Chain A
């Protein structure tokens, strides 16, 4: 309610529902006026414990919904004003629920009706005025909520004090006060709605109409000594809680929708940006290759060295952009996994041989033991990608010691096991390991490799797991 929602594509409080509520309110008003003039009603709403219980139960449930919805607001939108509104509805609903006991035990409990109505009327006015004054209901501290609790406590003490006195002389006055509060709240709520333009704000405004009618009806029944036929206002009162609940739910649905939209936009943005980046990078590589091939005349050794460095760096950049595109595609489910029977041993061996030299250059002991002729169903290109990703991680994160790479048959599955004596990963960081953009320490990279591995292995219906001790090394296991 306190943030501007984009106007298109979001759910608005439906017009037909507004009309339906207005229609019911008019009916209730008519019935109330008929009672006022002591005209017989076509249906006599005689009070029954069950209807009253159901009515009170419904509205307190709605109040609880509103409270939870407002907490969502507080957590997601950091809007404390919403929490305040939620507390008002919750408080009012709870008092109303206690008020149900008025039917079974006569002493004192009708008081809670007034407490509930006063909290709602006064609380809404204060909340909305706060909102109007500050421009936003959400103030920067929990002061409002603290104030509200003070108000709440005062009312509890007030209620207990009132139990002890005979309410009869004040009854009409209290009913008039509540009616006055709701009528006063109407223009304030309208102002509030024009400022915030949210479904919740509109619903609060709308709910004041049945609220006022409830109060009017309660007064009529009290005046016409029909106090026991109080079913009608109990039923109208449900509306005053259900309408804000609906408004709030629609707003929360809109938030969900907006978040989803934002995620979609992010995905499109990444894939567009990476595509736009890829062309110039690929041309940089192209030009450097021209230089190395000697199209611009022979290069000196030093020149060649520099050009090769440019080429290497550009290739790395291109690889990173490729990873971004990849992860986006896997997320969207656009990567097709070819299912063919292929020789996993051969793929792993090729991969290991590719890395043997790099491991040696870094001074690492690299052992591999690969069982021959293991064939599995899957996409050889993708599996190669996974294995080389894991190997390159082992290379990147291991400064000294050894890297052990094994492939063996384990029952019906093949198990690839890669352990290193590298930096290791702390236990509390393990759960985040397979999320994109997670990486450790000062090593370069965007942290996409493992999340891609996980997604590719998932697409093969395999499993990937990790064991690690910080400082001692890491072991990755892939089962296929």
Chain B
């Protein structure tokens, strides 16, 4: 299961279309709070987290998620429209696995899914 944390409706729709097309199961949440609640109940195989979220930013969410035992090793990919090395460093500090520029191309999405979801 791929968990998408993204508040922008269009980005949600794009990821939804692509993941449906490639036949990967996914769940969309649009706030950090929902994402944390979801992760308490379920164990997603891969997380796609947007940097700018309404309640807390992607890095803070990643830190919170890492506090949950079963989420310690889960791959978390942080996405943003802004490519900046600065953010990259912050992302690594926060414990994110990878950092990607939006929009995720279909091929990156596919290879991510193939890599983390056997």
Contacts and interface: CB of A to CB of B under 8 A. Distances in A.
Interface of A: 275, 278-280, 282-283, 285-287, 289-290, 292-296, 322, 325, 329, 334-336, 338, 381
A279 B20 contact: no
17 contacts: A275-B81, A275-B82, A282-B81, A282-B102, A283-B11, A283-B103, A286-B10, A286-B11, A289-B103, A289-B105, A290-B21, A293-B21, A293-B106, A295-B21, A296-B17, A325-B82, A334-B86
Nearest to B13: A287
A342 to B, nearest CB: 15
Nearest to A281: B81
Contacts of A336: 85-86, 89
A453 to B, nearest CB: 18
B92 interface: no
B14 A287 contact: yes
Interface string B1-27: 000000010110110011011000000
Main secondary structure of the interface of A (DSSP, over half): helix
A285 B85 contact: no
Pairs of residues from A and B, 6 with the lowest C-beta to C-beta distance, nearest first? A286-B103, A286-B14, A283-B10, A295-B21, A295-B17, A293-B106
Given A282-B81, A334-B84, 4 more contacts: A290-B14, A290-B17, A322-B83, A335-B85
B8 A279 contact: yes
Interface residues of B, number: 21
Contacts of B81: 275, 278-279, 282
Nearest to B9: A283
B19 to A, nearest CB: 9
B40 to A, nearest CB: 30
A296 B106 CA distance: 14
A283 B8 CA distance: 10
Contacts of A290: 14, 17-18, 21, 106
A329 B84 CA distance: 10
Nearest to B110: A293
A285, A286, A296, A381 interface centre (most CB from chain B within 10 Å): A286
Nearest to A318: B81
Contacts of B85: 335-336, 338, 381
A278 B101 CA distance: 11
Interface string B35-55: 000000000000000000000
A294 B81 CA distance: 24
Contact of B106 (A278, A280, A289, A334): A289
Contact of A295 (B18, B83, B84, B102): B18
Nearest to B11: A283
Interface string B78-100: 00011111100100000000000
Contact of B21 (A285, A287, A294, A334): A294
Contacts of A289: 14, 18, 103, 105-106
B13, B18, B103, B105 interface centre (most CB from chain A within 10 Å): B103
A244 B8 CA distance: 58
B78 to A, nearest CB: 15
A50 B39 CA distance: 88
A286 B18 CA distance: 9
A338 B102 CA distance: 23
A287 B16 CA distance: 11
Contacts of A335: 84-85
A335 B82 CA distance: 13
Interface string B98-118: 000011111000000000000
Nearest to B14: A286
A292 B14 CA distance: 12
